[in-house]
Amino acid sequence: MPERMSRLLALCVDIDRTAIQTYKRFASDESDERLRSCWERQAGEEEAHARHWSRLARTADEGLAPVLFDDPDLAIVELEELASEVSRVAAGARASADSLQRARLGLRLELHLLHPTFATLLNLLHAFEEEEAPEERRADHLDRFLLALGEYTRNDPDLELVAAAARQLWLRNRELLQTAQTDPLMGLYNHRGFWTAALPLASLAQRQKERVAVLTLDVDGLRAINDTRGHAAGDDVLRGVADALRDTLRDADVACRIGGDEFVALLVGVGDAGLRTVTKRLHDAIAALSVPGHQVTVSIGVAGGLLEGDVTQGIEHFLRESERNMYAAKRERRRESLAHASALAAL
């Protein structure tokens, strides 16, 4: 698997380097100062992207970059096809005769660079390069490019259509990626999104020898709430739990609804005292949820430590351990409830 990520990132480097060469040629051939500045800026931004990919490729060569694709072989084939398309644009750049033709080729190139695989790999940039919202910067990159080409596309209906399609394609790709990785009711990651976000963070923690912790949370008695108050009330409880997780955890932590009434979070760089604080805050916040006739409680289990060896297997181990601890906490809570009920009955 590590060699597949190395191949994917090497392809990203090659594609961006071809884009750099293409934009530099456009700049050297362009007589219009504003458009020449546009091509130079595009080349500079792609150089920054290529440096990011190169650093990540070295990380992958060391076996430290997680595999983010269900079918990495298919992703490799898609990027190899993309590399061929970008090379064809580069070949056209060598024969470009005027500003309009260069604008047309530049739009084609940017359309190719909107490949969904790049959007997935941006998660690695976010973790390993400590980038803030890299997908937003990619959108800004595209917006600046389309704005600069605006007056050259305005009198060409075909180019104008391609420019609009490029922007819509990027927005649609981002929306589809978010939908595929997000629980629609909670607004948290779903199971797939959890792994996509957690693996880069956990890999970075392993490199920096930081502790990671997995927290598993299960809502107690949700079925009783659904049966007596209706499923809408149960959904309100689940949303309240999701809000408590968002309010309690740090922005760098990863929280997801794993399914039903169970939630999971990955925390990096948190010790035992910090985990106790997080757990207490979650219990307190969720206990404050209001459902007539019901006291909302949750059972929480945690597990963690330093990651050794395969990152995915390490997280899976902590997940299993935290789930066992969560069920142990649930059994203890039931025993306490029964003991309390027995004490009341004896009065």
Assign residue 204 the CATH number of its domain: 3.30.70.270
Q: What pLDDT score does 325 carry?
A: 95
Give per-residue pLDDT as tens, 28-57. 988 888 888 889 988 998 898 888 888 888
pLDDT category, 221, cuts 50, 70, 90?
confident
Same domain, 212 and 298: yes
Locate the DSSP E strands across 152-230: 212-219
Tokens matching residue 276: 């106790």
Q: Residue 111 domain-assigned? A: yes
Q: What pLDDT score does 345 carry?
A: 45
Q: Residue 168 domain-assigned? A: yes
Same domain, 199 and 341: yes
Q: Residue 53 domain-assigned? A: yes
Q: Total structural domains in the chain?
A: 2
Residue 330 has pLDDT above 80, yes or no: yes
Q: What pLDDT score does 134 carry?
A: 57
Same domain, 72 and 134: yes
Same domain, 120 and 245: no
pLDDT category, 102, cuts 50, 70, 90?
confident
Q: Residue 282 domain-assigned? A: yes
Q: How far is CA 318 from the centre of its chain?
A: 21
H or E, element range at 195: helix 191-207
State the Cα–Cα distance between residues 285 and 247, nearest whole angstrom.
9
Residue listed under structure tokens 């990203």? 12
Count CB atoms within 10 A of the CB of residue 174: 18
Q: Pick the most confident of 9-18, 88-97, 155-164, 223-232.
A: 9-18
Give backbone dihedrals phi and psi of 181, rounded to 5 degrees, phi first: -115, 5
Same domain, 22 and 117: yes
Same domain, 82 and 204: no
Q: What pLDDT score does 159 carry?
A: 65
State the Cα–Cα distance between residues 346 and 194, nearest whole angstrom.
47
Give per-residue pLDDT as tens, 270-316. 889 999 999 999 999 999 988 887 888 999 999 999 998 888 899 99
Residue 207 has pLDDT above 50, yes or no: yes
Same domain, 212 and 79: no
HEC string of 266-328 equals EEECCCHHHHHHHHHHHHHHHHCCEECCEECCEEEEEEEECCCCCHHHHHHHHHHHHHHHHHH
User: Looking at per-residue confidence, does 326 or 208 come out higher?
Assistant: 326
Segment 328-347 mean pLDDT: 61
Residue 117 has pLDDT above 80, yes or no: no
Lowest mean pLDDT among 45-54, 248-257, 287-296, 331-340: 331-340
Lowest mean pLDDT among 221-230, 251-260, 328-337: 328-337
Q: Residue 252 domain-assigned? A: yes
Segment 252-267 mean pLDDT: 92
Q: What pLDDT score does 343 carry?
A: 46
Contact 152, 35 (CB under 8 A): yes
Helix, strand, coil fractions of the chain, as percent rounded to 5: 70, 10, 20
Q: Which of 181, 214, 245 is the last residue of a domain?
A: 181
Q: What pLDDT score does 238 carry?
A: 92
Torsion of CA 27, 33, 35, 40, to 10 degrees: 40
Residue 346 has pLDDT above 50, yes or no: no
Residue 131 has pLDDT above 60, yes or no: no
Note down the domain range covering 202: 191-346
pLDDT category, 347, cuts 50, 70, 90?
very low
Q: Which of 181, 208, 234 is the last residue of a domain?
A: 181
User: Looking at per-residue confidence, does 123 or 20 come out higher?
Assistant: 20
Same domain, 34 and 167: yes
Smallest Cα–Cα separation from 116: which of 176, 168, 65?
A: 176
Give per-residue pLDDT as tens, 146-203. 777 776 666 667 666 766 776 676 677 667 667 777 888 888 999 888 887 888 788 8
Radius of gyration of the chain (CA): 25
Contact 170, 135 (CB under 8 A): no
Q: Which of 148, 163, 181 is the last residue of a domain?
A: 181
Segment 318-341 mean pLDDT: 79
Give backbone dihedrals phi and psi of 304, rounded to 5 degrees, phi first: 175, -175
Q: Residue 321 domain-assigned? A: yes
Q: What pLDDT score does 341 carry?
A: 43
Same domain, 196 and 143: no
CATH of the domain at 66: 1.20.1260.10
Segment 244-273 mean pLDDT: 91
The residue length of the chain stands at 347
Q: What pLDDT score does 215 carry?
A: 97
In the chain, the amino acid numbered 149 is L
Same domain, 28 and 64: yes
Q: Which residues of 118-154 are buried (b: 16+ CB within 10 A; e: fewer)?
A: bbbbbbbbbbbbebeebbebbeebbeebbebbeebbe
Q: What pLDDT score does 141 carry?
A: 74
Contact 136, 125 (CB under 8 A): no
Q: Residue 186 domain-assigned? A: no
Contact 112, 132 (CB under 8 A): no
DSSP single-letter state for residue 67:
P
Q: Residue 119 domain-assigned? A: yes
Contact 288, 229 (CB under 8 A): no
Same domain, 7 and 46: yes
In the chain, the amino acid numbered 120 is T
Same domain, 232 and 327: yes
